[in-house]
Amino acid sequence: MSLAVLISEREQFDLSGPLDLTSVDWNDPHHRRSVAACLVQGVYILERDRQEKREGPHALAPPWWEFFQFKLVRPLIDDIDCSIFGAIYEYSKSPTSPSDPLWNSPQYVIAFRGTVTKKDSISQDILLDLHFVQNKLHQASRAEAATQAVRCIVAASGPSRVWLAGHSLGSAIAMITGKNMAKSGVLLESFLFNPPYFSVPIERIKNQKVKYGIRFASSLITAGLSLAVKGPPLSGTRSLEDPFAALAAWVPNLFVNRDDHICAEYVGYFEHRKKMEQIGAGAIERLASQHSMGTLIMNAKGNREAEALHLIPSANLTVNTSPSEDFKAAHGIHQWWRLDLDLQSKLYMYS
């Protein structure tokens, strides 16, 4: 079977989508995760339709949202390469009361795709991937456009039934947007699939003692460097001046795969913070967990705009521990609507 056929099958909802979800229970975590993932896939296919000039009955994207009774309000266009990087969807149904089964459904979902490795989009997507590594993705026009679009939707409809969703690079865009909204007190339900975590892949180390030792040493160095660069926080002012603590009430849903080195470090990031609390070193880890050494070094050199975009105080972390065929499968969006996943979920709240 040719690669072209394989790609075509994965783009077609009737061949690779969750056809079993004919009735969505908005209280079921699997249903909510699956719908959010499919809406992100819809953005990928919107861009592929644009590149392949598939229109009207030949377009493959619409079933990815129409199957769940959403409509496309508008795509989000990158002003550099004119690619479609996001989409605003509206759900066709509305709840009538808190007892209505639709009460936990979204009214709007703003979804963002990740990197598309095709000639019409790869240059800009790779450039934004590099911006993420350099801790300056928040300065990109795509991130600014995403935040502006979400602010407009929230201003028009209110925040209670607005969802964010993204995959890979799109998760980073959604995380920046969610952070920006949370800073103004707007906490949006968020589904971040395979969110990138730029770090040495410590989580791949099998020896638990070695892994813990490296993380402990890293926490000490990061906390020390933070004190050297930024100085200690003033007593009694943490809740007012600490932007990291101010984000603690926002609890995005993070979906990571242990075999995906791009996002697997989130597992160690949250687990290590819990262990440091248990041994009485919580103050050190609270300081370390909101900074990266790379960002601190850039700050010390005078680049105050650098920000550790991937670090967040709280999250509902879901880990897919099912075996993956390869890295592509471990990092792909398609895994998140499968029924046969071995998932482990844990809530981490920043204190």
DSSP-derived letter for residue 232 is: P
Q: What local confidence, expressed as pLDDT, does residue 177 receive?
A: 97
pLDDT of residue 350: 87
What does the alpha-carbon distance between residue 265 and residue 203 come to, in Å, rounded to a whole number?
A: 6
pLDDT digit string, tens, across residues 107-151 = 999 999 999 988 888 899 999 999 888 888 999 999 999 999 999
d(CA 104, CA 241): 33
Longest CA pairwise span in the chain (Å): 65
Query: Average pLDDT over the chain, rounded to whole?
Result: 85
Token pair belonging to 222: 């990061």
DSSP state, residue 102: T
Q: pLDDT under 50 in the chain at which residues?
A: 1-6, 236-240
Q: Sort strands 315-320 and 343-348 into parallel, antiparallel or unpaired.
A: antiparallel
Closest CA to 84 of 51, 126, 60: 51
How do residues 285-321 score in pLDDT, each as one tens digit?
666 666 655 555 555 555 555 567 788 999 999 999 9
